[in-house]
């Protein structure tokens, strides 16, 4: 049997599944696409997480787009984190092109244009449904991890959350946290000491600085009400397609802490809200995180540990997470080891460091006798990739060089007018794009402090008035009780009397004469 026939047989047996699957493209051998040798992924393994990596311009975003639209077509809702702003076109059918027809002819797969139902979300000032969460929903442990607090500071944060819970003070935003800390460091110090003990002023100052750092990345826009309900990510449209929620993040690329904050909150909320799913035929939700290195670049060790834990646990909730980045080395090894599907586009070897990274990337894939993996990683064209997935039994499939299909939707962005049109049909915008300004810890404590200061001012004024009266009275008493004062007083009185009497006597003798 020839090498080609052996390869075809291996690929067909490795990528043919009993249940529903997503077709990604056609297998390639010796740089030639083999017609009707399709590479697909079983839908039931899409909650085993994955990685899409490759150099800039090699087609990572288009691969993400293919996966998202195919999942939607199979009634699986999707959450896309669109940092570069180039995924909105998934809402509109592809207009077609001769090169697309040529590619699909090589694969042996007909090209059918199509679109997916889309909802735009935003953490900032972009157009779309506003995503918000309250500080209380994070809880003290997760909130402390976001701020990268040490054990002592995390203990203080736990006390602050407990105090607010006991006193029914809603912790909605960052201003609430700051106001509570200010209050407990001053007016509420004695009250706190009686129940929970003293808190260090220096530690409170350190926490304040961490909060200010978070605020400088515009995080205050994320904290507040109404809180986003993660069940709204699980919607289908009237045709049964999964709605693709596109989180537009083009204006927060330089604010990784805000991105990490959102990521942790959404994962924690999903984990606490979604029921256990077990092994189902379809994932409940699939998330794609573009430019994933932004999550890990400036994250603390505690944040890394939290993400790793979530990746391990959230699979049982029927949720798959896919990281999209330039190099597999951008993802920590503990997270990388949890990813079942790996799609590797071409890498570039411009430096010695690049060559070492390529060698390391090649070692992440199953051994194969059909490819020189390390060499081919630098030679693959745009829209080609190495693929290794998990079959229905969770066993890695053979490594295969794949010519990827073209997205059925537009491979370009929507215009502002088209985005406005999508938003006009959104039911979630009316639900979430409004401000709820109820009294929270900030307002309640501010009023309490205001009343306390007013009472204190009255008491001080009263005491000052009393002291002033006592001083005046004491002065007069002292003045008249002093021996010298009394002597002077008698002398003055005597002289005055003499003067008066002298005048009277003088007047009397004049009248007599």
3-state secondary structure of 197: coil
Q: What pLDDT, on a 0 to 100 scale, did the predictor assign at position 468? A: 62
Exposure b/e, 333-369, CB count within 10 A at least 16 = b:
eebbebbbbbbbbbbbbeeeeeeebbeebbebbeebe
Q: How far apart are CA 200 and CA 94, in angstroms?
A: 61
**CB neighbour list of residue 37: distance below 8 Å, 6 or more residues apart:** 8, 11, 12, 26, 27, 108
Q: Which of 309, 296, 298, 297 is nearest to 338 (CA)?
A: 309
The torsion angles phi and psi of 403, rounded to 5 degrees, stand at -90, 110
Q: How many residues does the chain have?
A: 513
Tally of CB atoms within 10 A around 191: 13
Main-chain dihedrals φ then ψ at residue 342, nearest 5 degrees: -130, 125
CB 402 within 8 A of CB 384: yes
- Beta pairing, strands 341-344 & 384-388: antiparallel
Closest CA to 75 of 231, 285, 353: 285
Domains located in the chain, CATH noted: 3-127+227-432 (3.40.50.300), 133-224+439-498 (no CATH)
Task: Evaluate the omega torsion of the peptide bond into residue 226 and state whether it is cis, within 30 degrees of 0.
Answer: yes
Residue-by-residue pLDDT tens, the chain, 513 positions: 688 999 999 998 889 888 899 999 999 999 999 988 999 999 999 999 999 999 989 999 999 999 999 999 999 999 999 888 889 999 999 999 999 999 999 999 999 999 999 999 998 778 899 998 999 988 898 889 888 899 999 999 999 999 899 888 899 999 999 999 988 888 878 888 888 877 888 889 999 999 998 888 888 888 888 999 999 999 999 999 999 999 988 776 667 777 777 888 888 888 889 998 877 889 999 999 888 887 777 666 766 777 788 888 888 999 999 999 988 888 888 888 889 999 999 998 888 888 888 888 888 888 899 999 999 999 999 999 999 999 988 889 999 999 999 999 999 999 999 999 999 999 899 999 887 777 677 677 777 666 656 655 566 666 666 666 555 555 445 544 555 445 545 544 444 444 444 444 434 443 433
Q: How far apart are CA 370 and CA 148, in angstroms?
A: 47
- The residues near 310 (Cβ < 8 Å, ≥ 6 apart) are 264, 267, 268, 271
User: Beta partners for 129?
Assistant: 121
The sign of the torsion formed by the CA atoms of 269, 326, 297, 411 equals negative
329 within 8 A of 335, measured Cβ to Cβ: no
pLDDT at 451: 66
Instruction: Report the predicted TM-score, pTM, of the whole model to 2 decimal places.
Output: 0.82
Residues 58/325, Cβ–Cβ less than 8 Å? no
CB 314, CB 279: distance < 8 Å: no
Q: Coil, strand or helix: which one is 194?
A: helix
Task: Report the pLDDT value the prediction gives residue 452, as an integer from 0 to 100.
Answer: 58
Give residues with Cβ within 8 angstroms of 407, minimum separation 6: 62, 65, 66, 69, 90, 94
Question: Which of 401-411 are b and which e, b meaning 16 or more Cβ less than 10 Å from the residue's Cβ?
Answer: bbbbbbbbbbb
The string of DSSP letters for 403-442 reads EEPPPSB-SSPPPHHHHHHHHHT-SHHHHHSS------HH
Contact of 222 with 262, CB cutoff 8 Å: yes
């Amino acid at each position: 049997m020839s090498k080609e026939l052996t390869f075809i047989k291996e690929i067909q047996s490795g990528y043919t599944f009993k249940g529903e699957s997503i077709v990604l493209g056609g297998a390639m051998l010796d740089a030639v696409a083999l017609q009707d040798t399709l590479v697909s992924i079983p839908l039931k393994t899409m909650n085993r997480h994955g990685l899409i990596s490759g150099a800039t311009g090699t087609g990572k975003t288009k691969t993400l787009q293919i996966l998202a639209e195919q999942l939607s077509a199979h009634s699986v809702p999707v959450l896309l984190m669109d940092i570069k702003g180039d995924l909105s076109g998934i809402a509109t059918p592809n207009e077609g092109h001769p090169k697309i027809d040529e590619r699909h002819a090589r694969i042996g797969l007909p090209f059918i244009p199509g679109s997916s139902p889309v909802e735009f979300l935003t953490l900032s000032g972009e157009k779309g449904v506003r995503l918000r969460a309250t500080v209380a929903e994070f809880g003290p442990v997760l909130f402390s991890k976001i701020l990268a607090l040490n054990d002592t500071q995390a203990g203080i944060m736990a006390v602050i959350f407990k105090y607010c819970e006991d006193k029914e003070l809603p912790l909605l935003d960052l201003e609430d946290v700051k106001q509570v800390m200010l209050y407990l460091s001053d007016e509420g110090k004695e009250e706190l000491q009686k129940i929970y003990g003293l808190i260090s002023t220096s530690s409170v100052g350190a926490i304040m600085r961490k909060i200010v750092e978070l605020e400088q990345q515009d995080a205050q826009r994320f904290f507040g009400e109404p809180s986003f309900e993660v069940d709204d990510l699980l919607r289908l449209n009237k045709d049964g397609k999964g709605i693709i929620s596109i989180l537009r993040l083009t204006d927060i690329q330089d604010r990784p802490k805000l991105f990490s904050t959102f990521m942790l909150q959404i994962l924690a909320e999903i984990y606490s809200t979604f029921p256990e799913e077990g092994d189902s035929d379809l994932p409940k939700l699939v998330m794609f995180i573009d430019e994933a290195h932004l999550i890990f670049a400036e994250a603390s060790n505690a944040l890394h540990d939290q993400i790793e834990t979530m990746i391990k646990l959230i699979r049982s909730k029927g949720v798959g997470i896919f990281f999209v980045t330039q190099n597999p080395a951008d993802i920590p090894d503990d997270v990388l080891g949890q990813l079942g599907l790996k799609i590797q586009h071409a890498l570039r070897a411009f430096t010695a460091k690049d060559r070492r990274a390529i060698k390391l990337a090649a070692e992440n894939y199953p051994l194969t006798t059909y490819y020189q993996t390390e060499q081919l990683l630098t030679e693959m064209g745009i829209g080609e990739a190495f693929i290794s997935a998990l079959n229905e039994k969770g066993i890695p499939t053979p490594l295969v060089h794949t010519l990827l299909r073209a997205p059925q939707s537009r491979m370009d962005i929507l215009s502002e007018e088209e985005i406005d049109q999508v938003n006009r049909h959104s039911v979630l915008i009316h639900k979430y794009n409004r401000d709820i300004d109820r009294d929270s810890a900030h307002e309640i404590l501010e009023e309490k402090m205001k009343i306390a200061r007013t009472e204190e001012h009255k008491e001080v004024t009263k005491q000052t008035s009393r002291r002033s009266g006592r001083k005046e009275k004491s002065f007069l008493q002292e003045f008249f009780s002093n021996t010298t004062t009394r002597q002077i007083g008698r002398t003055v009185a005597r002289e005055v009397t003499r003067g008066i009497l002298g005048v009277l006597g003088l007047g009397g003798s004049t009248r007599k004469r």
